[in-house]
Structure formats: structure tokens, C-alpha cells
Chain A
Amino acid sequence: MSEVKKIVKESTVAELLSVSGGIVAGIILSSMTGVLEKVPGMLAAIPAFLNMRGAIFSSFGARISTRLHIGELEPKYRLRGLALEEALASFVLGISQSILIGILAYLVSLCMGASPSLLYLLGIFVVAGLLSNVIIINVTFFSDIWLYRHGIDPDNVIGPYITTIGDTIGLLTVIASVKVLGL
């Protein structure tokens, strides 16, 4: 029963913070209706783009956590060695998946009878991918280490924490890249 208590206590706090963060993402998304109408295919790509941030970096956070638990990584605030390799792999995956999402959104929108621009879709999601990857990798790694050092199991917390931060940072970087591309 003490394990159930620990899971419920640690995960509930993380989850409530996460869905509260989701309200920010929801309001950002609902304020983007102008851009969504202007760039066909963008709404098709956004859930996949946000999901991808969550998937890649939750996995990164969980792997760092597993390595901390089984003693392969020391809980030090240094992104080196195994941790750096994990981070670089996640970075490469983040960029390649951003390109794939841009292309898939273009194809799906074409099939749905819209007239999307492949160049715009790729541009938006590659720039947003680059920016968000750098931020989220650092946040995930240092959060994992901090949680572990403070006696909190990162497995109970890092998933909700990263998907929320990933959603908010992901949407903000999409808006930033839309501005950079002058749309």
C-alpha cells in the first residue's frame, strides 16, 4: 500500500501541474486559429509535432531515469558520456521526425483536397523542431538529475512534466517559426 501511496502522491502532483500547463497550451492553440486557416495542413501536423516532442523526450527522460536507478549514470549535473549520447540520439530523432511530420501533413492535406505548401510546412516544423529540441533536452536531463538527487522517483514525474513543457515550448516555437517565416 505504501507503494500505491507513493505513486499516487508523486504522480498526482505531476499530473495536476501537467494538465494545468495543458490549459496554457490549449489557450495558445485556440488563439492560433488565424494561422491555422492561413496555412493548410498545419492543424494536421500540430498534434503529431507535439506528440513527437512528448514521445522522444519522455523516452529520453525515462532512459536517463532507468540508468540512474540501475547505477549506469551518476546523478551529476553534467551532460557527458552516456547521457550526451542519449541526448544526441534524441536530438537527431527530433529533427528527422519534424521533417517527416511536415511531409506527412502535406500529403494528408493534399488527399483531403486542400492546397498546402510543402516549403512552408517543412520550414515551420524544422525551425520549431531545432529550437524546441535544444530547450527540452536540457530541461529533461537536468530535471531528471534534480528529481533523483531529491529522492523523487523520476519515473513517476518526468513523463507528465516533459509532455507539458514539450506542448508549451512546442507551440511557442511553432509560433516563433511562423513569425520567422513571415506568415
Chain B
Amino acid sequence: MTRVFWKVLKESRVPLTLAAAVGVLSGALLEMRLEALISLPVLLAIVPPLNDMAGDLGTIIVARLTTAFYLGSIEPKLRRNKGLRMNLFSLMLVSTITVLYISFILTPIYSITLNTGSMLLKVLIIVIIAGMMGVLFTLLSGILLSVLSFRKGYDPDIMVMPMITLIGDFLSIASVLLVAKMLGLV
């Protein structure tokens, strides 16, 4: 094996181990509420799409910025950076469309499939608030970490990607449980 194999293993080791540890803690958050979640499977069901959305948009921003930094089309700096703002704006637009899609198309399907129609409004509130919060903080974290890691000489595709899906997952699960708690569901 040559340089690339060992570089990937070496650079990925720390962020992935960190991701595994915090990922298990995110799962532990769910396990602590296992009884409530088993009695309300719709809450369990909305976790994967919200996790997907935050993690996906996080991976897109990191992948795009990494390529742009290597090509030199965006400078790796945080202040007065049109390229970063354009990427953030574009992906917030995508997240708004996606949250509306999850809210008004997928959530009713869940409610029918899992027979929890009476809670539709509360589930919609959880999806909209938890979804948007999760995405915004995930994108901001993705930008910050990509710029910092590239400036330190690390490849953001290797260093930041595992952390950004972790941040997206953790924020989504915590937001779902927080909003569900505020609505008295768990």
C-alpha cells in the first residue's frame, strides 16, 4: 500500500473515533427515552430523515468547499468571502425546500402508516423547528471546520466529513427530543 492508503487511515482515525463516541452518545440519548419512543414510533421514524438532511447538506458544503479550495476558486478565509456566502445561501434554500417536503409530504405519510394522525400538528412543529436548527448549525460548523482544517494543511474531505455528519446527527436528535419535550410528548 502506498501513501494514499496510510494518509486516509492516519487522518481519519481521530475524527472517526470522535464521531463514533459522540454517535453512541446520540444513540444513548434515544435509548434513555426508549419507552417513550416505542410508544410513539413516529418520533423514532422522523429521526432518520432529519439526520439525513442535516448530514447530507453538511457533506455537500464540505465536499464543495474542499474542491473549491484545491482548485483555488474560493479562498480558505472566513471573513468577507463571497464564495462561502453563496454556498451557505444556496444550501439554506435547499434545506428550506427539503423541510417543507418532509413536513407536508413525508410526515403525513408517517402519520398514516404509523397510525398517529392525532399528533400530526405537533410532529410538523418538531420537523420544522428541529430540522432548520439542525441544518443551520451543521452548515456553519462545516464552513468553519473546512476553512480551519484546510489552512492547517489537512484535507477537509478526510478530516471534517466524519465530524460534520456527527454534528448533524447529534443536533438533529437533540433538537427532536428538545422540541418533543417542550410539546410534552416525551
Mark A residues whose CB is within 8 Å of B. 3-4, 7-8, 11-12, 14-16, 18-23, 25-27, 29-30, 33, 36-37, 41, 43-52, 54-56, 58-59, 61-63, 65-66, 69-70, 82, 85-86, 88-90, 92-93, 97, 100-101, 104-105, 108-109, 112, 114, 154-156, 158-160, 163-164, 167
Contacts and interface: CB of A to CB of B under 8 A. Distances in A.
B5 A47 contact: no
B117 interface: no
Interface in B57-95: 57-60, 62-64, 66-67, 70-71, 86-87, 89-91, 93-95
Contacts, number: 255
A58 B24 contact: no
Contact of A15 (B8, B53, B173): B53
A154 B91 CA distance: 15
B98 interface: yes
Given A7-B87, A11-B57, 5 more contacts: A4-B90, A19-B52, A22-B52, A43-B27, A97-B16
Interface residues of B, number: 75
B59 A88 contact: no
A85 B1 contact: yes
Contacts of A52: 16, 19-20, 23, 162
Contacts of B110: 23, 26-27
Given A85-B4, A163-B56, A15 B94 contact: yes
B157 A63 contact: yes
Interface in B27-45: 27-28, 30-32, 34, 38, 41-42, 44-45
Contacts of A37: 34, 38
Contacts of B55: 51, 54, 58, 159, 163
A62 B62 contact: yes
B21, B28, B93, B166: residue with the most chain A Cβ atoms closer than 10 Å: B28
Given A11-B94, A19-B98, A69 B20 contact: no
Given A18-B53, A69-B71, A36 B161 contact: no
B97 interface: yes
